[in-house]
Structure 1
Amino acid sequence: MIREKISLSIHEMTVVAMMVAIIAVLGAVPGIPLGFIPVPIILQNMGIMIAGELLGPRLGTIAVWLFLFLVVLGLPLLSGGRGGMVTILGPTGGYIFAWLFVPLLIGLSLKLSWYYGMTQGVTEFLIVWLWGVIFVEGVGAIWLANQLHTTLIAALTSNILFVFGDTIKALIVVSITRRLRHIKAFSLRR
């Protein structure tokens, strides 16, 4: 019984592997350092949002956990070719930790909105924005304040620039996934 719940079909394994690869490829794009904060602007967080929106809570979470497991093992899959526990425990660790929950939160929120018939793009964007941007920036700011021995207000203030950029990324993610969801390979909605 337990094995049945854990096992994935070949199709599901393939989709999860593809998502891990997409997140890794987005990490190949170098981050843009800002100078006043040790956290660069990256595209990789788009892959995390796509995982939750396109694969749903279960498979999206599996994909992100697998990706981060490979990072913990030392593979240089994060933006700028970083990897290993040092990266996870550094200033960007809070953002990365938040990524573990983003697909689950986005996926469950989307399922709930679809259940109640809210299928508009605006609703979808607000869900992705809430969990993929605001939640991640909030957790990241808490971690960053602790790492830099500064106030939470200072860390949140330094994240304002990221919120604007990540809002644009969330719009792009929603636009892409609403189109991809119509392809049979991605019509999982689980």
Structure 2
Amino acid sequence: MHTSSLSIALVSLFAALIAVFGLIPKIDLPLGVPITLQTLGVMLAGCMLGPKRALQALLLFLAAVALGLPLLSGGRGGLGVFFSPASGYLVGWPVGAFVAGWVMAVLPKHSPRSSAISAFIASAVGGLLVVHVFGVVGLVNIANLSWEQAIMGTLVFVPGDLIKCALCATVVHTVARGLPDWRFGG
């Protein structure tokens, strides 16, 4: 398959994967930001595709959401979601995927084990830290929370996101064993 065709296929596949993760029911919190599995898709895109393709996959996904497709967990979509308390997290997804891909690209990947460890670190930096920084900024600006309230509110997501980092590392380990020529991080 031609490289550009492969890129288009992978970007589309990961945008679709994130949509599929949205079919898993969300857990609503009083903060106005639900717990979803879709951040796992952000982590996987970064680690599996590299920074450029991961960014493209998340931008494609969010463009479809903005057009009104109900791809977010709970069947949400449309421009209104970008003005909700969760908007900072959504805006952070492409940046988080890019950062996860970049971190994955610079870390060692000479064995399935080292690839998995690198994926955990890349997921924690991009899919957790970066996304939560954007989420906190969104909570302060959209939900009118204080910085302290926003930071304390986002901490509720961290244990689940660490589990998602471990799941991402497990997937990367499995792919590294089955497809040793896969270029993690791009």
Equivalent residue number for residue 71 of structure 2: 77
The 5-angstrom pairing of residues 1-190 of structure 1 reads: 9-34=4-29, 36-114=30-108, 119=114, 121-184=116-179, 187-189=182-184, 190=186
> Which amino acid in 1 is paired with 2:141?
N
State the alpha-carbon separation in 1 of the partners of residues 160 and 107 from structure 2. Answer: 25
> Which amino acid in 1 is paired with 2:171?
I
State the alpha-carbon separation in 2 of the partners of residues 112 and 145 from structure 1. Answer: 33
- The two structures, once aligned, show a CA RMSD in angstroms of 2.4
Question: What is the Cα deviation at residue 89 of structure 1?
Answer: 1.8
Question: What is the Cα deviation at residue 183 of structure 1?
Answer: 4.5
Cα shift readout 1:129-150 (whole Å, capped 9, x = no counterpart): 1221122112101211222222
Contact 1:54 1:181 (C-alpha < 8 Å) held by counterparts? no
Question: What is the Cα deviation at residue 115 of structure 1?
Answer: 8.3
Contact 2:95 2:130 (C-alpha < 8 Å) held by counterparts? no
Q: 1:182 to 1:17 in 2, by over 3 A?
A: farther
Q: 1:157 to 1:186 in 2, by over 3 A?
A: farther
State the alpha-carbon separation in 2 of the partners of residues 14 and 98 from structure 1. Answer: 23
Contact 1:54 1:177 (C-alpha < 8 Å) held by counterparts? yes
State the alpha-carbon separation in 1 of the partners of residues 134 and 85 from structure 2. Answer: 12
Question: What is the Cα deviation at residue 92 of structure 1?
Answer: 0.6
Higher mean C-alpha deviation, range 110-119 or range 47-56 = 110-119
Contact 2:33 2:86 (C-alpha < 8 Å) held by counterparts? yes
Structure 2 length-normalised TM:
0.89
State the alpha-carbon separation in 1 of the partners of residues 181 and 16 from structure 2. Answer: 15
State the alpha-carbon separation in 2 of the partners of residues 182 and 112 from structure 1. Answer: 20
Q: 1:151 to 1:124 in 2, by over 3 A?
A: same
Task: Among all aligned residue pairs of Structure 1 and Structure 2, give the percentage whose two residues are the same amino acid.
Answer: 31
> Which amino acid in 1 is paired with 2:83?
L
> Which amino acid in 2 is paired with 1:57?
P
Aligned residues: 183
Contact 1:180 1:186 (C-alpha < 8 Å) held by counterparts? no
